[in-house]
Chain A
Amino acid sequence: GENVEQHPSTLSVQEGDSAVIKCTYSDSASNYFPWYKQELGKRPQLIIDIRSNVGEKKDQRIAVTLNKTAKHFSLHITETQPEDSAVYFCAASFNDMRFGAGTRLTVKP
């Protein structure tokens, strides 16, 4: 089955800096790659997603890139703010949806 690896497990940045989280997947059939943000005690919320026929997608301060050949995708957050602090999960999906281990992002004011 699909295996999703995510790095780093923790990331601390200064407010205003950029943050990058990287994921790799194993199943070449996966065709949908969402990123979720989970705040403490809350349900995961989608922040951005990308489909396999697209290489890059941007939404304001958030962007995702996908390299199908290498089977990796990345989340980029620019101009980070303290409210970006949370746990971020990547996922890869075909029939099912499997998640990476998560990255705890801390943005220091």
Chain B
Amino acid sequence: GAVVSQHPSRVICKSGTSVKIECRSLDFQATTMFWYRQFPKQSLMLMATSNEGSKATYEQGVEKDKFLINHASLTLSTLTVTSAHPEDSSFYICSARGGEITEAFFGQGTRLTVV
């Protein structure tokens, strides 16, 4: 299958700082990227859907000013958690697909801890 690389895999930051997470499709053009948050032993909660060159569509309850998503190219999307707080600590995972009605490939996820 196609490869999606997500970095960093782990990050610890201080409360009030910002953290950027990158999601790259290495061998295909990702027209759509999804960002999820996964709590321990729970499902993948969709945060936003991002189409290349367009503004991301955020899910209800997800603050767009806090979770900044950029999808400026067909191979890179970034999620920036701004002014992070301990409650933002979670596992964030991206997925990408190259067209409609096709498989989405997942990155390896980022474990964010805000102290």
Contact = CB atoms under 8 A, between A and B. Distances in A.
Given A43-B109, A89-B44, A96 B57 contact: yes
Nearest to B44: A99
A95 B34 CA distance: 10
Contacts of A36: 106
A99 B49 contact: no
Nearest to B106: A43
B81 to A, nearest CB: 20
Interface stretch (B12-20, B70-78, B82-90, B95-103): B95-103
B64 to A, nearest CB: 15
Given A1-B59, A32-B101, A44 B106 contact: yes
A68 interface: no
Q: Size class of A's contact patch?
A: 20 to 34
Given A32-B101, A97-B95, A44 B44 contact: yes
Interface string B33-60: 0101000001110100100000001011
B68 interface: no
Contacts of A101: 42-43
B1 A32 contact: no
A42 B32 CA distance: 22
Nearest to A46: B103
Given A1-B59, A96-B46, 11 more contacts: A1-B60, A32-B101, A42-B108, A43-B93, A43-B106, A46-B105, A93-B104, A97-B46, A97-B95, A101-B43, A102-B43
6 contacts: A43-B93, A43-B106, A43-B109, A46-B104, A97-B46, A99-B36
Interface of A: 1, 31-32, 34, 36, 42-46, 49, 51, 89, 93, 95-102
